[in-house]
Structure 1
Amino acid sequence: MKTALIVYGGWSGHDPEECAAIYRRWLHEDGFSVRTATETSAFADPSIHDLSLIVPIFTMSKIEKEEVANLTKAVQNGVGLAGHHGGMSDAFRESVDYQFMIGGQWVAHPGDIIDYTVDVADAADPVMEGIKSFPYNSEQYYMHVDPAIHVLATTTFNGEHAPWIDGVVMPVVWKHLYGKGRVFHSTLGHRAKEFENREMATMMRRGMNWAAREG
């Protein structure tokens, strides 16, 4: 049986507990044995090296050196990593090792909650099968990203809230390898209610299953 660990906490504005409950239900339905933790110390546990998947939901906060060292080593050795929004890509701002593993770091969301479009960048990828570009209402994340990521979906900034970024095409959903581990990330999902969006939820659920180590 595939095994998963969800580690949630940090800033409460991203509904970490509610999001963890959604992930736990999905993973159970998809055949995973799931456990949860609410402290970053879980990342230092040697047992995480035996997992199929780790899901971090821990906006901002701090991670200790031994915690991030064990986490990044586990992923390098093949454990999958998947998550969404600031719970994954605005976690542990002081840890460049963590950011290197994720493939991007949040830096701004001009205009805060706004309407924008999510565009499919790789329709041939199985994660994106049947999904077409769709309207979205949330924070439009401006990211610093690793050029090595495989971009699955993007958004284009119109410059209304920051004129100097007019026309910038920004990754929204991506995947990549970190050592032997598969990493999947979506910048969507500021609040738990956004998981009610069919396209957002479909990409996220497929992405978690893609990232999970087999066997």
Structure 2
Amino acid sequence: MAANKSALVVRGGWEGHRPVQATELFIPHLRAHGFDVRVEESTAIYADAEFMDGVDLVLQCVTMSTIEMTEFRGLRAAVERGTGFAGWHGGIADSFRNTSDYLHLVGGQFGCHPGKHPYGVVDDEADNFVPHTITINDAGRVHPITEGIEDFDLVTEQYWVLADEYNTVLATTTQRRRDFDPWHRQVVHPAIWTRDWGQGRIFVCTPGHSLDVLQDSNVKTVIERGLLWASR
């Protein structure tokens, strides 16, 4: 298919989320749907207003890290003018913790991922893998990103997300209250959401810690659809 859209893949930050390997899983999908894909290993490109004006979709996979204010303002201005902004897990929902305006743009911030009982930890990433369900809500059952997808179970990091009511939530996940937890009741968090910003669309999927989760049929479908939905 001849390229008729432009996608920018920006990746980096904490290597534990495998930003290179993870984004490489979805670049063929973008190309197959008519995107010319440019890959950048830093956020510096966001400050190039002329280039950003021609970008239809930004796929970001940058966990934690920092961003210069000129770069963030460039990203935000592009979204306001119609560039889509999309990603998964910490690559979008745990980026640039010190830039509050970025958190406002995305609409949800990773707070923590409660793990196993302290007596069961072995000091590796699996300490944070817990069985949980991604529950598609009423809005999600009719939204093109999640339509036709049933509730599904995962054993991976379950994000406790701090969010606001401006999001259109398509799926949630429930943090149970276990005997050893310090909170007193179960808490429901957004797991998949969209957000309108100016003329642009934002898509966030919180599952996606590791490559096997990204290749789960439900997660993969949601992300592939979300990328196309968010694009200008």
1:16-55 superposed Cα distances (whole Å, 9 cap, x missing partner): 0001111211101121110100011111112112111001
1:137 corresponds, among 142, 150, 155, to 155
Partner of 2:10: 7
Q: Does 1:65 align with 2:69?
A: yes
Aligned AA for 1:120?
I
Q: 2:166 aligns with which of 110, 130, 148?
A: 148
Counterpart code for 2:196: L
Q: Which residue identity is paired with 1:48?
A: M
Q: Which residue of 2 aligns with 1:74?
A: 78
1:6-155 correspondence to structure 2 within 5 Å: 6-46=9-49, 47-111=51-115, 112-121=128-137, 122-155=140-173
Report the CA distance between 1:163 and its aligned residue: 4.3
Moved over 6 A (4+): none
Would the aligned equivalents of 1:4 and 1:35 in 2 still touch at CA under 8 Å? Answer: yes
Contact kept, 8 Å, 1:158 with 1:165, in 2: the verdict is no
Partner of 1:194: 213
- Is 1:185 paired with 2:204? yes
Seen in structure 2, the aligned counterparts of structure 1 residues 144 and 165 have a Cα distance that, compared at 3 Å, is: farther
CA contact under 8 A between 1:157 and 1:165: conserved in structure 2? no
Aligned match of 1:203 = 222
Query: How far is 1:125 from its partner?
Result: 1.0
Residue type of the partner of 2:58? Answer: I
2:18 and 2:159 mapped to 1: Cα distance? 17
Q: What amino acid is aligned across from residue 8 of structure 1 in structure 2?
A: R
Separation (CA, whole Å) in 2 of partners of 1:155 and 1:113: 14
**Kept after mapping to 2: 8 A contact 1:155/1:172:** yes
The 2-side partners of 1:27 and 1:179 are apart by 24
SS of 1:63 mapped into structure 2: coil
Query: Can you give the 5+ residue segments of structure 2 that lack an aligned partner in the other structure?
Result: 116-127
Q: Which amino acid aligns with 2:46?
A: F
2: CA distance between counterparts of 1:103 and 1:23?
23
- The range that moved more, 155-164 or 121-130, is 155-164
Pairs aligned (count): 213
Bigger-Rg structure (1/2): 2
Is residue 4–residue 53 contact of structure 1 (8 Å, CA) maintained in 2?
yes
CA distance in 2, matches of 1:154, 1:27: 26
Deviation at 1:193, TM superposition (A): 1.9
TM-score by length of 1: 0.96
Cα deviations across residues 86-116 of structure 1 (Å, max 9, x unaligned)? 0101000011111111111101100111110
Over aligned residues, Cα RMSD in angstroms?
Answer: 1.1
Deviation of 1:162 after TM superposition, in Å, equals: 2.8
Per the alignment, in what secondary structure is the counterpart of residue 166 of structure 2? coil
